[in-house]
Chain A
Amino acid sequence: MNTILECKNLSKSFGATKALDGINLTIERGRIVGLLGPNGSGKTTFIKICNELLTPTSGEVKINGFNPGVETKKIVSYLSEKTYLNDWMKVSQIIRFFQDFYADFSPEKAYDMLKRLNIDPNSRLKTLSRGTKEKVQLILVMSRDAKLYLLDEPIGGVDPAARDYILDTIITNYSEDAAVILSTHLISDIEKVLDDIIFLKEGQVVLNKTVDEIRDEYGKSVDALFREVFKC
């Protein structure tokens, strides 16, 4: 099956607020997809539902044919916006942790990336700066051989050099077998790396095209189109 994620009429409400409103999506393997929208458009809600961190109000999402659960978590690698690492471990210990729980985790890859970013595996997570912690988290996520990568604002709080490294890692890690869904509002940096673009506005999909289709049809970059569509 080439479809890795299928979403039918997915809705999520928090009390009176409708965060997601009837989302229909199909994501194929081998695609790098950008989930774009302003804050509050539902990007994080969607990603959380895919990770079973939230349950839908109605509709469903299936990853590799399964509802979000233990089976999907084995093949989904998630980078949250927040730092979710515990304080007391050393970097080497959190690597061991990931190795223990994820069969598709490669410690060699992780140590390699740590070396390139000059992060000492013996340092305690508590002592690392926020930027470094985010890099460690990214390394952990990308060292997995997952079928679906869900990256929530991966380049948000990072300096430009790190941003380049992150995009480079995404390209390097590319596999025809896996899909990457990237949510961000920093589009110009990332446009060239994306296959498909999904605009999310107030919980609904308002656009679903490839980058080149957009540039062809609209004669402008995705970034420029975004600014138009989401003008305040």
Chain B
Amino acid sequence: MLAKLLKYELKATARWFLPLYAALVIFALINRALIQNDPSVLAEAANLWKIAFILSILVYVFLFVGIMVVTFVVVIQRFYKNLLGDEGYLMFTLPVQTWKHIASKLLIAMLWNFSSAVVGFCSIMLLIPARELGELDLMLAEFQKYLGTMGYFSISLLALAALAAGIIQMYTAIALGHLFRKHKLLASFGMYIGLNTVNQMVYMLIIPPFLNTMIPFAEPAFFTSNRLNTLILFFSITLAILAAIYYTVTNIILKRKLNLE
């Protein structure tokens, strides 16, 4: 059943993203073509070309920001509209456990966040002439110096956990807001801020003791790649646990306290 939910969630959301991704890539290529390899060529060109170029860059930036906004909005809107709006009457009468509804929304939301980031990054790569990319190699070398190959794994884990926790926190805020009779949207917003405070408290509680075990030895040489990676893994686990708690809270609210209009 979860697979089916994922399938439909993907279908419902792809219509927003795929055209935008395509447009972004196309405009990246257009801009790349217009810049060619020598920007000074443009300074000489006719005004018409200059205007076209500026417009094209603007559209690209607009699309880039647009994708970020759409990704954010779609994540919230899918949860709010499909589960707590009128469509909720359809979804919650399907013979499917509540946690699977949350999982399907979360996983697809993570997917789109990930792909938006990848597409955005690729479009930048397409835009920038090849010789500037030398910088990238240097950056990767620095990265490996501090974190080693293990760093790729731990940073990915951190990103994943942070993404999951970030999204599920929004769901929890929306679900908590749903408990209010009036001004649900406002309540959700307030709840989100409240949950952020909760996050801060958790970080305050957990991180200092952990760091204390390290601080006596805190000289730069101490921070080997292993220790840094452990620190990063520790953050990841904290975020994962936070995500799990928010997931459970959301599940309980949707299961026991559902009250569709």
Contact = CB atoms under 8 A, between A and B. Distances in A.
Interface of A: 14-15, 48, 51-55, 70-71, 73-74, 76, 78, 80, 82-86, 88, 97, 100-102
Given A73-B95, A86-B82, A101-B1, A53 B12 contact: no
Contact of A101 (B86, B95, B258, B260): B95
B49 interface: no
B4 A53 contact: no
B90 A53 contact: no
A121 B93 CA distance: 23
A78 B243 CA distance: 34
Given A54-B259, A84-B88, A85-B90, A102 B95 contact: yes
Given A53-B258, A53-B260, A70-B95, A101 B4 contact: yes
A74 B259 CA distance: 21
Contacts of B4: 100-101
A97 B8 contact: yes
Interface in B53-89: 82, 86-89
B97 A53 contact: no
B188 to A, nearest CB: 20
A85 B97 CA distance: 20
Contacts of A101: 1, 4, 94-96
Given A85-B90, A86-B87, A100-B4, A54 B12 contact: no
A70 B181 CA distance: 27
Given A97-B8, A100-B4, A101-B4, A52 B92 contact: yes
Identify whether the interface residues of B are mostly helix, strand, loop, or mixed: loop
- Among B86, B93, B256, B257, the one with the most A-chain Cβ atoms within 10 Å of its Cβ is B93
A53 B258 CA distance: 6
Interface of B: 1, 4, 8, 12, 15, 82, 86-90, 92-97, 181, 256-260
B93 A51 contact: yes
Nearest to A52: B92
A70 B96 contact: yes
B12 A78 contact: no
Given A73-B93, A82-B86, 16 more contacts: A14-B259, A53-B89, A53-B92, A53-B258, A73-B95, A74-B95, A78-B93, A82-B89, A84-B90, A86-B12, A88-B12, A100-B4, A100-B8, A101-B4, A101-B95, A102-B94
Nearest to A72: B95
Given A88-B12, A101-B1, A101-B4, A73 B94 contact: yes
A98 B181 CA distance: 32
Contact of B93 (A53, A83, A88, A100): A53
Nearest to B260: A53
A83 to B, nearest CB: 7
A52 B95 CA distance: 11
Contacts of B97: 70
B179 to A, nearest CB: 12
Given A70-B95, A70-B97, A101-B1, A84 B12 contact: no
A53 B257 CA distance: 9
A55 B15 contact: no
Nearest to B100: A70
Nearest to B8: A97
Closest 8 CB pairs of A and B: A84-B89, A73-B95, A84-B90, A74-B95, A80-B89, A70-B95, A101-B94, A78-B93
